[in-house]
Amino acid sequence: MQTRSDDRSLGELFSDLTRDVGTLVRQEVQLATTELSDTVATAGKDIGLLAGGGFVVYAGFLVLLAAITVGIANFIPLWISALIVAVITMIIGYVLVQKGRDGLKHLDIKPRKTMQTISEIKEDIA
């Protein structure tokens, strides 16, 4: 490391240090805000697509369930057919809800880049 001669006073050095630390903190806050905004924007778009697609699939699924219920009703009474289809549908729905909930538990929303930069700054200061 090269040593350079500096004619600044101790007060000027502390003033520069305070200014630089303030700038660094503002930049890190801005980085964290940008990183989280990007994540939220992407998640919002994906949630919108998921909701729209889910609505269309749901409508088709209801028609399919009605067709299955009517088809089974050719062999057994209609109310038993509807009960069988409802119970099977509820079991499948429960399994899907559990899988979705488990997936959300593992969602990572931490601003990793900001945390890494702050860690590097700590190491440089120490």
21-35 pLDDT, tens digit each? 888 888 888 887 887
Contact 72, 85 (CB under 8 A): yes
- List C-alpha distances in Å: 55 to 60, 61, 85, 113: 9, 10, 20, 36
What is the per-residue pLDDT for 59? 93
List pLDDT tens digits, range 37-49: 777 777 788 888 8
Q: What is the chain's Cα-based Rg?
A: 30
Tens-digit pLDDT profile for residues 64-73: 999 999 999 9
2 pLDDT exceeds 70?
no
Between helix 10-72 and helix 78-105 the angle, nearest 10°, is: 170
**What b/e sequence results for 39-75 when a residue is b if at least 16 CB atoms lie within 10 Å of its CB, and e otherwise?**
eeeeeeeeeeeeeeeeeeeeeeeeeeeeebbeebeee
Identify the residue with better confidence: 54 or 108.
Answer: 54
